[in-house]
Amino acid sequence: MESWIELLLRDDGTSLLGWEDESLLPELQAWLAEHAVDRLAGHPDPLLARKTALLALEHGERWVAHSEMIASAGG
């Protein structure tokens, strides 16, 4: 998940799934936003669960929230 999150946030399905399966990206993002956030709560990277939760937002809203989250974390 750590290595995929930035690709998922950018909607880069081709790099993650390949051309043939790129259409599955929205379904993967929705599943992760619904099921993975709670499971990542204890992860060593405290922002990983929060970044995963951003997948529930539309692309434009996601990047505004991502920028605010990174700024508030001091990054």
Q: pLDDT per residue over 41-66, tens digit each? A: 899 998 999 999 999 999 999 999 99
Going by pLDDT thresholds of 50, 70 and 90, the confidence category of residue 68 is: very high
Would you tell me how many other CB atoms lie within 10 Å of the CB of residue 32?
A: 20
45 within 8 A of 53, measured Cβ to Cβ: no
In sequence order, what are the residues at sequence separation of 6 or more whose Cβ sits closer than 8 angstroms to the Cβ of residue 13? 21, 22, 23, 24, 25
Tokens 């690709």 correspond to 7
Q: pLDDT per residue over 24-46, tens digit each? A: 999 999 999 999 999 998 999 98
Global pTM reads 0.85
Going by pLDDT thresholds of 50, 70 and 90, the confidence category of residue 75 is: low
